[in-house]
Amino acid sequence: MSELVIRGLRAVIANTDNEILRGIDLTIRSGEVHAIMGPNGAGKSTLSHVLLGKPGYEVTGGTVELDGVDILGMETWQRAQAGLFLGMQYPTEVPGVSLNDMLAASFAASDRDSEDLDSLIRTEADRIGFDHKFLDRPLNVDLSGGEKKRNETLQLGVLKPRIAILDELDSGLDVDALRMVSQRVEAATEEDQLGVLVITHYSRLLEELRPDQVHVLAKGQIVKSGGAGLADELEETGYGEFVSDDDDDDAGKRNLADGETFADMFADPLA
Ligand code: ADP
Ligand code: MG
């Protein structure tokens, strides 16, 4: 039984006072699926980055514990060894390193027996309809968006983390691939008691990967939580009720002065 406990998490873009996460509270336990939905720019990917310790962000408040151990002071590889996994919104291309190489190195780094690794990788590829030809190709290089997402899902199946954060797992996947990938992750919640935090814009992903809870992230805070039905509701209604125009989103914009035209705002001041 594992538990990722996020309390009051606040983070800024490094070396700025641009606060993106403004107090996030969330607990993900083994076997649970939590979906995060929310408008573009809300901080969803930032949350995933901060949880894995991607450089470029600074945590300014709150705590994150995996099974009672503070992870915020850990390097990214230590967080991965502790059992955290990130499926990135935009998986990185790694020329010169194949998926096979990468998984073999992961196994070696954590002293796992890699004797059956090859057959495990092939079995996992088949479970999600991922062509074996990609296994020896450089990681993610020249893969389509959907192929990259299947690649990430294969890694998840092989590495068997405790808690997986999956950022827009559905982006780029065709309907059949989406079904296979979401079924694979759902199966991991049952077979391996995987805990999942999945970021998505579409309730279709959540037809196979059944969420225990759905959360709305807007402007760096979780503004609403509910059951699986909330995802359908949001698809109908959008996020209008959570994003108003009357606050600092308008910072930096200015209104026309008396007598000024729109074109004047863009006129060359030296002309
Ligand atoms: P989303 O909810 O769409 O995943 P993100 O977490 O990617 O949103 O981004 C939240 C906000 O933070 C956006 O306004 C984005 O432009 C900004 N942001 C994220 N990373 C950086 C960065 N490294 N430098 C500057 N701004 C950033
Ligand atoms: Mg994002």
Domains of the chain: 3-257 (3.40.50.300)
9: three-class secondary structure by DSSP:
strand
CB-ligand 1 contact for 41 (6 Å cutoff): yes
Q: Is 48 in the pocket of ligand 1 (CB under 6 A)?
A: no
CA dist 253 and 101 (Å) reads 49
Which is nearest to 83 in space by CA: 163, 197, 157? 163
Express each pLDDT in 19-58 by its tens digit. 999 999 999 999 999 999 999 999 999 999 999 999 999 9
- The DSSP 8-state label assigned to residue 241 in this structure reads G
Q: How far apart are CA 253 and CA 60, in angstroms?
A: 27
User: What's the whole-model pTM score?
Assistant: 0.89
Nearest CA to ligand 1 atom 16: 41
Q: How many helices (H) and strands (E) does the chain have?
A: 9, 12
The count of C-alpha atoms lying within 13 angstroms of the C-alpha of 155, restricted to the half-sphere facing its C-beta, is 29
Answer yes or no: are the C-beta atoms of 102 and 139 closer than 8 Å: yes
**Has residue 244 got a pLDDT over 90?**
no
Residue at token pair 């649970």: 32
Helix (H) / strand (E) containing 97: strand 94-98
Q: What is the distance between the alpha carbons of residues 256 and 43, in angstroms, rounded to a whole number?
A: 31
152-179: average pLDDT? 95
Confidence class of residue 254 from pLDDT cuts 50, 70 and 90? low
CA of 234 to the centre of ligand 2 (A): 17
The percent of residues above 70 in pLDDT, for the chain, comes to: 90
What distance in Å separates the CA atoms of residue 177 and residue 195, rounded to the nearest whole number? 21
* pLDDT, average across residues 89-110: 93
> Which atom, in ligand 1's list, is nearest to the CA of 57?
23
Collect all residues with Cβ–Cβ distance below 8 Å to 150 and sequence separation of at least 6: 128, 129, 130, 173, 177, 180, 181
